[in-house]
Structure 1
Amino acid sequence: MFAIPRRYSHFVFGVIQSGLTSLIAAGIASFPAMAADNFLWNWLASWLVSWAVMSPIVLLAAPTIRSLSVVLTREESLD
């Protein structure tokens, strides 16, 4: 696979998790913004809905993402 040293796996995890989170949150947030007359209220409502939806998704996806970050990285040799 990739040759990223395992000591950077937390960065790989963060990139994958933030990508998934922002993908879903942006999709949810874009629906109210289509016909928005009051940006701040729509943003706040979208953020609250996105947060409520993302909490269980992140909790369920985190172990898989953690495993994927281990697969995408390698142990460093002591050379």
Structure 2
Amino acid sequence: MDATLTPFIGLEFAARKAHISGKPFSRMPDMIPARFANAIFGLIMSGLMSCIVTGIATVKAVGFHPETLGDWMASWAFCWPIAFTVILVLGPSVKRLVEGWVRPQG
């Protein structure tokens, strides 16, 4: 048997077993508990926003050159933890502020 295919044999067996038992086969780990939803949202949102903003700011400040990508990634690595912290700290206050401005659906 080809050694490169060996890891897939176990997956195929598990998939067949799951199909037979009627349970869906998934390699995904258990879901993250709901109590972490705000932190996960903050992590993803801060990552995306800080990536976009630092990319724009880096190109505006230094222009396009061979080191631009490295400068951008260094700036992003510095800014992402700050953005994440700000979202975690100020997020609940901003949510309450917005809830005071909008009319409930009903």
TM-score (norm 2): 0.40
Pick the structure with greater CA Rg.
Answer: 2
Greater strand share, 1 or 2? 1
Give the TM-score normalised by structure 1: 0.49
- Between 1 and 2, higher relative CO (CA 8 Å, sep ≥ 6) is seen in 1
